[in-house]
Amino acid sequence: MGNITLIGMPGSGKSTVGVLLAKFLGYGFLDVDLVIQRQEGALLQDIIDRRGVAAFLDAEEQAVLGLSCDKHVIAPGGSAVCRERAAAHLRQLGPVVYLRVELEELQHRIQNLSTRGIAMEPGQTLADVMAARAPLYNKYADLIIDCPPGQSLAQTAQIVLQRLRQEGLLA
């Protein structure tokens, strides 16, 4: 299918870059976090607080497995790669692009860690989450885009588009 999925840590810019990329390509934009909230009738943080991280990951996996679209830029939550079936489904939908951002930059960008709806166990830090997920992002990505501090999200979207074209990954 002719979709593009952006993966990466919370705060990596998946949603903003996704909207910009969709505009550049004339594609639709799909934010999986909004799909989860609609399906569950609750905010992400409420799901995590009330039902736990495992239940949240189950809900996220079901939302991802239910995706069937074409010519969309998809921005799943940062934890979508934590479930193999969900990650594999995203790859079936089209190329997967990992927006790689350094930990220090993520810590600078994320000011609302406890209320943002990040799938973290109590006591985990952003560094712990990144250490667990980075190998999965690398595993499932067809393309890795480094996003250094100072690079705007608009610049990132242009770089993603350019690299997708260079690699022949656009349908």
| Strand order through the sheet with 72-75 | 28-31, 72-75, 4-7, 96-100, 143-146
pTM of the model: 0.95
Q: Alpha carbon 113 to chain centroid distance? A: 16
Domain boundaries, the chain: 4-165
Would the pLDDT of 171 be above 70? no
Neighbours of 110 (CB within 10 A): 15
pLDDT of res. 112: 80
Would the pLDDT of 117 be above 90? no
Q: Per-residue confidence at 116, pLDDT binned at 50, 70, 90?
A: confident
pLDDT of res. 1: 64
Nearest alpha carbon to residue 48 among 128, 133, 119: 119
Considering the domain 4-165, what is its CATH architecture? 3-Layer(aba) Sandwich (3.40)
How far is the CA of 26 from the CAs of 72, 75, 98, in angstroms? Answer: 9, 16, 21
Would the pLDDT of 40 be above 70? yes
